[in-house]
């Protein structure tokens, strides 16, 4: 019910919500809109994407109406180094929304996957993808897209849906409103006071910190203890040869050493 959504978002920067039944990718659409001058706070929601994108050049697929597929455009007037924290803000906001709307507690697997933990293993519920437009060393725009499985999840991956976790259907509009309200709050705090509070909340919600992990990066795997999050969101892994900072890639949670 888009009218209700816009009403409930009045007073936030995300009050202008556009809906489409089908598109390629909501992130791609908002990137194009950003290049045409679309303002801070634009939101695009789709029932279905035919070329939805995930991190690391993967595809993001979901049957029509089975997921929350939403992107926001922000023009944050902050340095490029802070871009990571916009993604973290989206992951935290979505985690908070899953909790308030569906009563489902999630954690964040580095960098920004929302997971529930089953038998000590992370099971993916949602993901975040950010695309930036740079103007020199300034962030002219960031498009942050979230995909959250509501009723369906890919059967061949370690994945789940919000309905499966809640044990009941979850209203997509309610989740969207709660997510955008929470994101509005985090975005305001990030602009006003820097990354401190956001980083602390991210660390508290991390499913990765404190675990033995293997990161797959260009030079080969890095194995060690996930020890911290650096100022620009990099994962610090303590290995037998010292600390290694991982900027991007996949991290696998390993069993603790016997």
Contact 115, 37 (CB under 8 A): no
Stretch that binds ligand BTN, among 122-130, 158-166, 172-180, 244-252 (CB under 6 A): 122-130
Stretch that binds ligand BTN, among 21-29, 115-123, 185-193, 232-240 (CB under 6 A): 21-29
Any contact of residue 34 with ligand BTN (CB under 6 A)? Answer: no
CA distances, 85 to each of 67, 101, 125, 206, 245 (Å):
24, 24, 20, 14, 16
Any contact of residue 60 with ligand BTN (CB under 6 A)? Answer: yes
Q: Which of 111, 122, 147, 233 binds ligand BTN (CB under 6 A)?
A: 147
Q: Least distance from C-beta 228 to ligand BTN, angstroms?
A: 23
Any contact of residue 122 with ligand BTN (CB under 6 A)? Answer: no
89 or 129, CB closer to ligand BTN? 129
25 or 208, CB closer to ligand BTN? 25
Any contact of residue 26 with ligand BTN (CB under 6 A)? Answer: yes
Residue ranges of the alpha helices (H) in 129-168?
Answer: 162-166
Any contact of residue 201 with ligand BTN (CB under 6 A)? Answer: no
**Can you count the helices (H) and strands (E) in the chain?**
6, 12
Joined tokens for residue 212: 């033995």
Q: Least distance from C-beta 23 to ligand BTN, angstroms?
A: 9
| Residue from 204, 211, 203 nearest 120 by CA | 211
Q: Residue with CB nearest ligand BTN?
A: 127
Stretch that binds ligand BTN, among 77-85, 143-151, 206-214, 215-223 (CB under 6 A): 143-151
Stretch that binds ligand BTN, among 34-42, 46-54, 149-157, 237-245 (CB under 6 A): 46-54
Task: For residues 87 and 38, give the distance between their C-alpha atoms in angstroms, rounded to a whole number.
Answer: 20
Contact 51, 25 (CB under 8 A): yes
Joined tokens for residue 240: 């037998």
Any contact of residue 66 with ligand BTN (CB under 6 A)? Answer: no
Residue 75 has what DSSP assignment?
-
Could you give the angle at the alpha carbon of 61 between the alpha carbons of 120 and 82, nearest 5°?
Answer: 70
3-class DSSP assignment, residue 166: helix
Q: Least distance from C-beta 22 to ligand BTN, angstroms?
A: 13
Q: Least distance from C-beta 54 to ligand BTN, angstroms?
A: 3
Stretch that binds ligand BTN, among 9-17, 145-153, 186-194, 247-255 (CB under 6 A): 145-153
Task: For residues 31 and 6, give the distance between their C-alpha atoms in angstroms, rounded to a whole number.
Answer: 22
Place of tokens 């996949």: 250
Query: Which strand (E) or helix (H) includes residue 207?
Result: none
Q: Which of 53, 84, 172, 211 binds ligand BTN (CB under 6 A)?
A: 53
Residues of this chain that bind ligand BTN (CB under 6 A): 25-27, 49, 52-55, 58, 60, 69, 71, 113, 127-129, 145-147
């Amino acid at each position: 019910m888009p009218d209700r959504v816009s009403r409930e978002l009045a007073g936030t920067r995300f009050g202008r919500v556009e809906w489409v039944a089908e598109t390629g990718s909501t992130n791609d659409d908002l990137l194009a809109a950003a290049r045409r001058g679309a303002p801070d706070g634009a939101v695009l929601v789709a029932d279905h994407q035919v070329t939805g994108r995930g991190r690391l050049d993967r595809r993001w697929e979901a049957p029509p109406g089975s997921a929350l597929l939403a992107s926001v455009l922000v023009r944050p007037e902050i340095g490029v180094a802070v871009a990571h924290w916009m993604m973290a803000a989206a992951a935290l906001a979505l985690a908070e929304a899953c909790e308030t709307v569906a009563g489902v507690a999630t954690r964040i697997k580095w960098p920004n996957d929302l997971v529930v933990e089953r038998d000590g293993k992370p099971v993916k519920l949602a993901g975040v993808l950010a695309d930036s437009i740079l103007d020199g060393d300034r962030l002219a725009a960031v498009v942050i897209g979230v995909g959250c499985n509501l009723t369906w999840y890919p059967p061949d991956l370690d994945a789940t849906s919000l309905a499966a976790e809640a044990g009941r259907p979850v209203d997509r509009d309610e989740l969207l409103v709660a997510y955008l309200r929470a994101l509005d709050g985090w975005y305001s705090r990030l602009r006003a006071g820097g990354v401190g509070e956001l980083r602390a909340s991210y660390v508290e919600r991390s499913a990765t910190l404190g675990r033995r992990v293997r990161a797959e990066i260009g030079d080969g795997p890095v194995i060690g203890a996930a020890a911290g999050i650096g100022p620009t969101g990099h994962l610090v892994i303590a290995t037998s040869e010292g600390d290694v900072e991982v900027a991007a890639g996949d991290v696998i949670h390993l069993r603790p050493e016997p």
